[in-house]
Amino acid sequence: MAAKTDVETNGCTFQWKIENISYYWWLPVGYLMESPPFIADAVEGTKWRLWLWVVEGENDIGVYLQRVEDCSGPDIVEVKFQLAIFGKCDSFLTEISDLERFAKAKHLEITFDARERIFLTDREAFLPEDTLTVECTLQKAEETLVKSKHVFARTVWNGNKRSFDWRIDEFSTAQPGIRKNYKDDLIEFDLVLNEDFEKRMDIEIISFDDNIRYISWNTSIIDSEGETENCGIKKCFLHDLMNGILPPTLYFPKMLLENKSRWLPNDVLTLNFKFAFLITENFYCRKKSKLEDEVVGKEKSQSTAVLIEELKSLCIDGIFSDTELRTSTKTFPAHKAILSARSPVFRNMFSHDMKEKISGHVDITDFEDDTVHRMLLFIYTAVTDDLQLESASKLYAAADKYHILTLKSRCSSFLKENLCPANACGILVLADLHNDDDLKSAVEDYILEQRKQIFSSQEWKDFMSSHIKLAADVMYKRLCQE
């Protein structure tokens, strides 16, 4: 009889990676981040979860170990646990271990005196690629750990920014109840002009994505010269969204009526709304062994090249396509599943009873054939070929509209790398149009570095005439640097 070589597992090790952890600081101190739940087969098949938070006013990082309420197994289980925060090369903070009895829904609080070390002094070691790793091992209290079954999960934080304008005609006589609807793939809400003692703007939530954790609204009034007056930022969190009606985003200041020629030209009020989302997504994954990584590493280049060619052929030939992208002059066959996997905007179109799902095609009339073709090739292959300044700028705009973030980032990098005195002003306008603070800042820095040549050019003189505020922002940045 052959000897039995497999050792039966009698423990469970759960590794939780929190990616883009810096977004946590958008939230109030003490906000609880929750991991995906995991099953500890070796502990009576019980279900568990970790929670993480920063303790207010202290140097502590807190972790809750919780037995989930809707959990199988006995009413009480006694477990031995080990908990640690890991960094590069398997370095870790002091490992905490203990015995504890857990009823269903019970949680145990563990704290690490390490907030400053993790987020400041040793950030590079403990937050590689802005990712925090927490690991917890569970086993029955009476057993000695022989082998642990590993479960891997990720929580990914991401930020998104959107903006739109609202023009209200005959504002001084406008009646309460006027609405402006906004809807995208993450949220739908109405802006409502109301009135009690004075006119105000309310936000009424209609629906929102379950992954949203935070939203901030920045409201501005646009005057007759196109300049903006910032009216402040309002913040709301998940519990606010669930209530449906948020605190007013704006009480209209008296300056509107005191200077109508500036703020109400022809009795028209123009508002700009910028808002930022913070969303989280949870994933389970399997970690490869070192041997698997070596094999995959040797074959990756060849396999990737073959896959890219096959996907490119699928895109160009349109085999088994089930939808179309239509410009004013050309039709491109496409596949809903691939579009949806790469773009949340397309995913929203095809997931709901919108006209694109019903009609079987998507009308794209605001981009040229070449731009749509390049966007499709990237969606299928993640390749951008033969970019030039003009094509990169148009592709950047398309990527922003359809929220293809990797494509937008690649186009942004191309534009940064190809800045020159002749195109800097145009790229600055593009960055501002798409609310890209990172690209805008990079262009402003370049203009200031090359200011002797740029400030004396005809392009800059024309730019100052047509984009007064953007030019003023550059000059203000220069003053701040001096």
Say how many Å lie between the first and final Cα of the chain, rounded: 82
pTM exceeding 0.85? no
Task: Give the per-residue pLDDT at 455.
Answer: 92
Domain membership of residue 289 (yes or no) is no
For 357-382, how does the pLDDT look when each residue is reduced to its tens digit (9 = 90+)?
Answer: 777 889 999 999 999 999 999 998 88
Domain membership of residue 427 (yes or no) is yes
SS3 assignment, position 215? strand
Contact indicator for 337, 321 with CB cutoff of 8 Å? no
Q: What is the 3-state secondary structure (H, E, C) of 93-136?
A: CCCEEEEEEEECCCEEEEEEECHHHHHHHCHHHHCHHHEEEEEE
Domain membership of residue 27 (yes or no) is yes
Q: CATH number, domain at 350?
A: 3.30.710.10
For 207-255, how does the pLDDT look when each residue is reduced to its tens digit (9 = 90+)?
Answer: 788 888 888 888 888 989 888 888 877 777 777 777 766 666 677 666 6
Contact indicator for 247, 234 with CB cutoff of 8 Å? yes
* Residue 395 and residue 477 share a domain: no
Q: What are phi and psi of 13, to 5 degrees?
A: -115, 120
Domain membership of residue 5 (yes or no) is no
In angstroms, the CA 232 to CA 262 distance is 19
Helix-helix angle 424-433:437-449, to 10 degrees: 160
Instruction: Look at residue 304 and tell me whether its pLDDT is greater than 60.
Output: no
Contact indicator for 444, 415 with CB cutoff of 8 Å? no
Instruction: Look at residue 152 and tell me whether its pLDDT is greater than 60.
Output: yes
In angstroms, the CA 421 to CA 340 distance is 39
* Residue 345 and residue 274 share a domain: no
Contact indicator for 427, 419 with CB cutoff of 8 Å? yes
Domain membership of residue 153 (yes or no) is no
- Structure tokens, 29: 């101190």
Q: CATH number, domain at 471?
A: 1.25.40.420
Q: CATH number, domain at 206?
A: 2.60.210.10
* Residue 117 and residue 28 share a domain: yes
Among the candidates 90, 125, 146, a domain finishes at 146
Share above pLDDT 90 across residues of the chain, in percent, rounded to a whole number: 37
- Dihedral sign from CA coordinates of 384, 390, 393, 399: negative
Tally the residues of the chain: 482
- Structure tokens, 290: 């070192």
CA angle 452-455-461, nearest 5°?
Answer: 160
Task: Give the per-residue pLDDT at 197.
Answer: 46
Instruction: Look at residue 131 and tell me whether its pLDDT is greater than 80.
Output: yes
* Residue 112 and residue 50 share a domain: yes
Q: What share of residues in the chain are helix, strand, coil (percent, to 5)?
A: 35, 35, 30
Domain membership of residue 321 (yes or no) is yes
Domain membership of residue 338 (yes or no) is yes
For 445-467, how does the pLDDT look when each residue is reduced to its tens digit (9 = 90+)?
Answer: 999 999 999 999 998 999 999 99
Question: How many CB atoms within 10 Å of residue 396?
Answer: 26
* Residue 423 and residue 404 share a domain: no
Q: What are phi and psi of 329, to 5 degrees?
A: -130, -5
In angstroms, the CA 342 to CA 286 distance is 22
DSSP-assigned beta bridge partners for residue 217 = 234, 275
* Look-up of token digits 């030039």: 388
Among the candidates 146, 178, 197, a domain finishes at 146
* Residue 113 and residue 37 share a domain: yes
Instruction: Look at residue 7 and tell me whether its pLDDT is greater than 60.
Output: no
Contact indicator for 126, 85 with CB cutoff of 8 Å? yes
* Residue 212 and residue 321 share a domain: no
In angstroms, the CA 131 to CA 22 distance is 9
Task: Give the confidence band of 292 by pLDDT, cuts at 50, 70, 90.
Answer: very low
For 261-276, how does the pLDDT look when each residue is reduced to its tens digit (9 = 90+)?
Answer: 888 899 898 989 888 8
For 312-339, how does the pLDDT look when each residue is reduced to its tens digit (9 = 90+)?
Answer: 877 887 776 788 999 999 999 998 878 8
Task: Give the confidence band of 300 by pLDDT, cuts at 50, 70, 90.
Answer: very low
* Residue 403 and residue 334 share a domain: yes
Contact indicator for 122, 87 with CB cutoff of 8 Å? yes
* Look-up of token digits 């920014």: 161
Task: Give the per-residue pLDDT at 245.
Answer: 60
Domain count, the chain: 4
Among the candidates 125, 146, 167, a domain finishes at 146
Structural domain harbouring 403: 300-411
Task: Give the per-residue pLDDT at 393.
Answer: 96
Strands, E assignment, 209-268: 212-222, 228-237, 250-251
* Residue 142 and residue 18 share a domain: yes
What is the secondary structure of 433-447 as a DSSP string? HTT-HHHHHHHHHHH
Domain membership of residue 454 (yes or no) is yes
Contact indicator for 186, 277 with CB cutoff of 8 Å? yes
Task: Give the per-residue pLDDT at 175.
Answer: 82
Task: Give the confidence band of 283 by pLDDT, cuts at 50, 70, 90.
Answer: confident
Instruction: Look at residue 80 and tell me whether its pLDDT is greater than 80.
Output: yes
Task: Give the per-residue pLDDT at 185.
Answer: 80
* Residue 130 and residue 103 share a domain: yes
* Residue 124 and residue 15 share a domain: yes
In angstroms, the CA 349 to CA 190 distance is 20
SS3 assignment, position 301? helix
CA angle 337-18-381, nearest 5°?
Answer: 30
* Residue 454 and residue 351 share a domain: no
Task: Give the per-residue pLDDT at 106.
Answer: 94
